[in-house]
Amino acid sequence: MMRFELFAAMRYLRGKRRNRFISLISLISVAGVAVGVMTLIIVMSVMTGFDVALRDTIVGNRAHFTVHAPMSDTIEDYESVIDEIETLCPEILGSGPIVQIQSLLTAESGYSKGMQEGAYIIGIDPERESKVTYLKDNMTGKGGRQFGRGEMPGHKEIVLGYVLAQNLRVGLGDKIMVLTGRGKVGPMGRSEGQKLYLTVSGISQAQMHDFDMLYAWVNLKTARLLTGEKGVHGVHCRIENPDEAELFQQRIEANTSYRVQTWFENQEAFFMALQQEKFAMFIILIFIVLVAAFNITSTLIMMVMEKKRDIGILRTLGASSGLVLRLFMVEGLFIGLGGTLVGVTAGTLLSFYLNPVAEFIAGLFGIDLFNSQIYYFDRIPVSIVPQDVLYITIVSVILSFLSTLYPAWSASRLNPVDALRHE
């Protein structure tokens, strides 16, 4: 049997009122909560989608963890290191040596001769690299890439990030001069550093601005010519689940003398900034629901004023102040729950179909809502996380409940004699 408070609250909401303005305010309150919840779900889903997409891109273009020598800057016999860590960690999907070189690139052919850009050159083993990073895929048209082309670097060849290639105004087959900072001290003083002329064999589109603007790749033989060293700076590895990189780090460091750096340590500040931005956006958008909650408060206050006579009659018939309190709290909760339900449904559906909706609006108004050249994604990344939806729902219901307290308390404090005096 339905409790009296629920029955009366539903009757008040459905019944015709003398003041139609209050009915309109009630609908506006429901709509306000719905819009706030819907906006929160869409924004959180898009921000989570960006987070996931950027994470996948970063993880794909970086090794999941890198093994370094314990005491020196280089590893002389990297093959034995690879054998050792793969024996210790058979779950490793791929591994390869890496050399890191800071350099200055100068275009040496065509109308762009003399153009200069700083770059971070990575020395790799081309055959092993495809099992560790997305470099080979970045030189194709996969995943919506528009600028990737060419081949992995051979001897005295170099692969450039596409923004770096555009800045240098070079393409496949063009010559560039690479100048490193490793000068040598001789009888005539310190030389300017290692200088080498390389041919562009490929253009990489990593879909990350930093990678595309700052990075270039050469093979190990070319890297040794640039550094004058025989060793490598580390061995980077790929595993099935990048979130488990720390477990591999602990295992390797506990059983060997090597140092291990994970992908998350390299990008920790970036991902912490993303998490803080998402939390800040959640707090800001909560105020939309809070404003809607104030609408519920004002609606209930007007209802109390309209229902003074009814409250007086209930009190004279023996209804307690607690019953009146619960009645108006339930009525406000119905408004909040109704808005929350509509907002959750609309927000989830719009998030799921956000790209078709964005394309429709773009076609209707002739504007590009999501420029893939700017964001490096061909679609708006969306990830609907049930936990986020649950948190938004709980916060909305709590705010709706809090908004009922004052008007419900005011109704419960009404004196039945005062309520019926002028009736």
* Tens-binned pLDDT, residue by residue, of the chain (423 aa): 347 556 665 665 555 555 555 567 777 778 888 888 998 899 888 888 888 877 777 777 888 999 998 876 788 888 999 999 999 999 999 999 999 999 999 988 766 777 888 899 999 999 999 889 989 889 988 877 888 899 999 999 999 999 999 889 898 989 999 988 755 544 544 455 678 899 999 999 887 777 888 899 999 999 998 888 888 999 999 998 888 888 999 999 999 889 898 888 877 777 777 778 888 888 888 887 888 788 788 777 777 666 666 666 666 666 667 777 777 777 778 888 888 999 999 999 998 888 888 777 777 777 766 655 555 565 778 888 889 899 999 988 888 888 888 877 877 776 665 555 555
DSSP 87-131: HH-TT--EEEEEEEEEEEEEE-SGGGTT-EEEEEEEEE-HHHHTT
- Nearest-angstrom CA–CA distance, 213 and 205: 10
Are residue 212 and residue 110 in the same domain, yes or no? yes
Residue 258 and residue 277 share a domain: no
Is 196 in the same domain as 103?
A: yes
Tell me how far apart the alpha carbons of residues 14 and 120 are, in angstroms, rounded to a whole number: 69
Read off the pTM: 0.67
Q: Are residues 202 and 135 in the same domain?
A: yes
Q: Verify that 195 and 235 share a domain, yes or no.
A: yes
Number of separate domains in the chain: 2
Statement to judge: residues 245 and 115 lie in one domain: yes
The answer to whether 228 touches 194, Cβ cutoff 8 Å, is: yes
- The reply to whether 178 and 213 lie within a common domain is yes
Shared domain for 179 and 218, answered yes or no, is yes
Residue 285 and residue 236 share a domain: no
DSSP state, residue 239 = -
Domain end (from 232, 264, 296): 264
3-class state of residue 65 by DSSP: strand
Structural domain containing residue 347: 4-57+270-420
Q: Whole-angstrom Cα distance, residue 3 to residue 122? A: 72
Final residue before a domain boundary, out of 249, 264, 279: 264
The reply to whether 50 and 75 lie within a common domain is no
Q: Cα(67)–Cα(82) distance, rounded to whole angstroms? A: 9
Instruction: Assess whether 250 and 397 both reside in one domain.
Output: no
End-of-domain residue from the set 229, 264, 299: 264
User: Do residues 308 and 389 share a domain?
Assistant: yes
